[in-house]
Amino acid sequence: MSERIYGEVPGVSEGMWFPQRGDLSRMGVHRPPMAGISGSAREPADSIVVSGGYEDDEDDGDVLVYTGQGGNDPLTKKQVCDQDLNRGNRGLVLSLMEGLPVRVVRGANLGSPFAPEAGYRYDGLFRVEAYWHEPGISGFRVWRFRLGKIKPIVARPRSISVAETSALYGAQAVGEPAARQSLLVSRIVRNSAVAITVKRLHRFACQVCGTCLETPAGPYAEAAHIRPLGTPHDGPDTAENVLCLCPNHHALFDLGGFTIEDDLRLTGTRARLRTVRAHPISPDHLRYHRAHYRHGSDDLRFVAAAAAE
Amino acid sequence: MSERIYGEVPGVSEGMWFPQRGDLSRMGVHRPPMAGISGSAREPADSIVVSGGYEDDEDDGDVLVYTGQGGNDPLTKKQVCDQDLNRGNRGLVLSLMEGLPVRVVRGANLGSPFAPEAGYRYDGLFRVEAYWHEPGISGFRVWRFRLGKIKPIVARPRSISVAETSALYGAQAVGEPAARQSLLVSRIVRNSAVAITVKRLHRFACQVCGTCLETPAGPYAEAAHIRPLGTPHDGPDTAENVLCLCPNHHALFDLGGFTIEDDLRLTGTRARLRTVRAHPISPDHLRYHRAHYRHGSDDLRFVAAAAAE
């Protein structure tokens, strides 16, 4: 996995055009010479090519519904048997679970208004948002992946028309039936290379309760930053500032539900954080978290609840 | 709570300017005549006014670090005692836990390049991303809230310069030390008015395992859509399509870790979904989820793991 690049490839900017598949491979945008998915059963996917090779693909510009690989006849492009959740298909699920970006390349395809007229175009980074299976148009099982475009963050507030915002966040009172527009983002989990390393060191077991969530595509855990990332805390994205937690303890940790002492005891209890030798935790960052997230005498109660699970 | 509007207020678009505080109240942008936070210990906040009233506020345009209310001398603007996690402060924590948007109004403030020169300007919807406490500049405890601007989704891919994208998602190989730029969004939880209703009906207890996460600001649970929202599933945001789950079972449900039968048994087990009379579940949506997320014989194994917790 050391050679796979997740994210932008140096020297290749969004919108760049390539005449041949071989050019994509040579530039490192999409390495496999034939396969549509660059990834494997053990390695998260780093890129895909959308080229109309599957009859079930859907392309809405910023949202792609991409069909997994296998089971189709390369000549007719029709499915001729069920797809397995393996190879690149599993790689895309790993990208979902690790939160890694996938480069999307569109190839010429007369059926899509988003495809280039000829050759291939690099269309930026997408996030795998969901995966599922269904009978494809030909009746055989296909694996499907929804990919959403990752938007750059603009540094300053820009002017937004009413039409734009209300299309997304329609005004509504709580209690009224909610339209699709009212959906809101609530909890964002950030991941990185460090996060993956730490989760692997703990074999995806929560450092508080030992839970390892088993899914059909493998174990799932989250990386929690002790001193938070971003303004104004600016905690580092280093292993000593990261814990491997189940989603429940991640939510509790971020909401001040428990804190951790220098000796790794959960504050107010005898329970101790589970550790592995290769992953030391920074007492400085634990101290920072306690100083900002500990709720005085309340702490005991919430820690007890956390440790009792 | 029936009268509080979360999100855009009809007739008020981003960038709109208001000469007086009273105009904000009359237009429904920010209702309280004096307080900076519109919200209470029992009601999520729907709006704030950033007006330089607290010496500890920080404003970076798209990211605000907002100081809670209380403990300051209105004349000198200096903190004179500790702030409590109550009233509007607690309201902002509830906005965080429910994922509700907060309208941000900026008032004239010579110290900020983002403030209007006079009067008040509505600057759009923000999301409360984190909360914590710390000693303020005057040494007394203040509660702090990081709010990030909610970006509209643009319908078509737009051209993005390399500089913009690499500032956010720097190219890197997994295994290398991760820079701040490599952070990626992994898991997004969507919330809405329906979600809040369902969670309250279950008193924030997970319908699979009964867990209710206790935090210093109250209970935390997540709303999981059975037939997923958005392309291509287009499940409805209605109570019969929503489950109240702990984050662990939410992650498992979305990743195909378990499915649910028409009779509400967890597939392959005797365990049954916990229900309340006022919240019926749609068998059609359960069937849709099973058809797309059930992993054949694998299901048994993951359900057993889910139910055993």
In this predicted structure, what is the pLDDT of residue A173?
29
In this predicted structure, what is the pLDDT of residue B240?
97
- Does one domain contain both B120 and B201? no
Name the token pair of A10. Answer: 């140096």
Q: Does a structural domain hold residue A94?
A: yes
Highest mean pLDDT among A85-99, A143-157, B160-174: A85-99
Complete DSSP assignment for A153-179:
PPSS-----HHHHHHHS--EEBTBPPP
Give the residue from chain A lying closest to B288, CA to CA. A134
In this predicted structure, what is the pLDDT of residue A53?
60
- Work out the mean pLDDT of chain A and round it to a whole number: 81
In this predicted structure, what is the pLDDT of residue B202?
97
At A54, is the pLDDT very low, low, confident or very high (cuts 50, 70, 90)? low
State which of A90, A114, A149 marks the end of a domain: A149
Distance in Å, alpha carbon of A75 to nearest chain B alpha carbon: 27
Residue A226 pLDDT exceeds 70: yes
pLDDT in tens, B210-235: 999 998 888 999 999 999 988 789 89
Residue A165 to residue B215, Cβ atoms within 8 A: no
In this predicted structure, what is the pLDDT of residue A138?
81
Q: Which domain holds residue B138?
A: 17-149
Residue A165 to residue B124, Cβ atoms within 8 A: yes
* Mean pLDDT to the nearest integer, A87-96: 94
Higher pLDDT, A188 or B254: B254
* 58-97 in chain A: CB under 8 A from chain B: 58, 60-63, 65, 85, 96-97
Q: Does a structural domain hold residue B139?
A: yes
* 25-54 in chain A: CB under 8 A from chain B: none
Q: CB of B46 within 8 A of CB of B102?
A: yes
Higher pLDDT, A192 or B264: B264
Higher pLDDT, A62 or B187: A62
Alpha-carbon span A215 to B258, nearest angstrom:
8
- Does one domain contain both B213 and B275? yes
State which of A89, A120, A149 marks the end of a domain: A149
- Does one domain contain both A303 and A231? yes
Q: Does a structural domain hold residue B155?
A: no
The region of weakest confidence among A27-31, A72-76, A259-263 is A72-76
Residue A255 pLDDT exceeds 80: yes
- Does one domain contain both B231 and B126? no
Alpha-carbon span A66 to A96, nearest angstrom:
13
- Does one domain contain both A145 and A244? no
Residue A176 pLDDT exceeds 60: no
Determine the residue among B146, B159, B192 to mutate to test chain A binding: the one whose Cβ has the most chain A Cβ atoms within 10 Å: B192
Higher pLDDT, A193 or B275: B275
Residue A174 pLDDT exceeds 90: no
Residue A292 to residue B132, Cβ atoms within 8 A: yes
* 265-304 in chain B: CB under 8 A from chain A: 291-293, 295, 298, 301-302
Q: Name chain B contacts of A246, Cβ cutoff 8 Å.
A: 247-248
Higher pLDDT, A145 or A74: A145
Low-confidence ranges of chain B (pLDDT < 70): 1-2, 52-56, 152-192, 296-309
**Cα–Cα separations (whole angstroms), residue B53 to A228, B29, B65, B109, B302:** 26, 19, 13, 9, 53
Higher pLDDT, A50 or A231: A50
Residue A239 pLDDT exceeds 90: yes
- Does one domain contain both A135 and A199? no
- The complex's ipTM works out to 0.78
pLDDT in tens, B22-32: 999 999 999 99
Q: Name chain A contacts of B99, Cβ cutoff 8 Å.
A: 184-187
Q: Does a structural domain hold residue B161?
A: no
State which of A116, A149, A182 marks the end of a domain: A149
In this predicted structure, what is the pLDDT of residue B55?
65
Higher pLDDT, A79 or A117: A117
* Mean pLDDT to the nearest integer, A48-66: 82
In this predicted structure, what is the pLDDT of residue B132?
93
Q: Does a structural domain hold residue B78?
A: yes
CATH number at residue A129: 2.30.280.10
Q: What is the pTM of this model?
A: 0.78
- Does one domain contain both B301 and B210? yes
Q: Does a structural domain hold residue A182?
A: no
Q: Does a structural domain hold residue A180?
A: no
Name the token pair of A48. Answer: 């895909």
Q: Name chain A contacts of B159, Cβ cutoff 8 Å.
A: 14-15
In this predicted structure, what is the pLDDT of residue A185?
32
In this predicted structure, what is the pLDDT of residue A269?
85
- Partner residue facing B185 (CB), from A127, A216, A238: A127
Give the residue from chain B lying closest to A258, CA to CA. B215
Residue A122 pLDDT exceeds 90: yes
Is the Cα dihedral B220, A236, B128, B111 positive or negative?
A: positive
Q: Does a structural domain hold residue B168?
A: no
- Does one domain contain both B25 and B134? yes
- Does one domain contain both B131 and B221? no
The region of weakest confidence among A265-269, A274-278, A296-300, B107-111 is A296-300
The region of weakest confidence among A30-44, A281-295, B187-201, B274-288 is B187-201
State what percent of residues in chain A have pLDDT above 70.
80
- Does one domain contain both B35 and B136? yes
- Partner residue facing A190 (CB), from B10, B63, B184: B184
Question: What total number of domains does chain A contain?
Answer: 2
Q: Name chain B contacts of A152, Cβ cutoff 8 Å.
A: 160, 164-165, 167-168
* Mean pLDDT to the nearest integer, A164-190: 31
- Does one domain contain both B23 and B115? yes
- Does one domain contain both A124 and A234? no
Residue A252 to residue B193, Cβ atoms within 8 A: no
Residue A175 to residue B191, Cβ atoms within 8 A: no
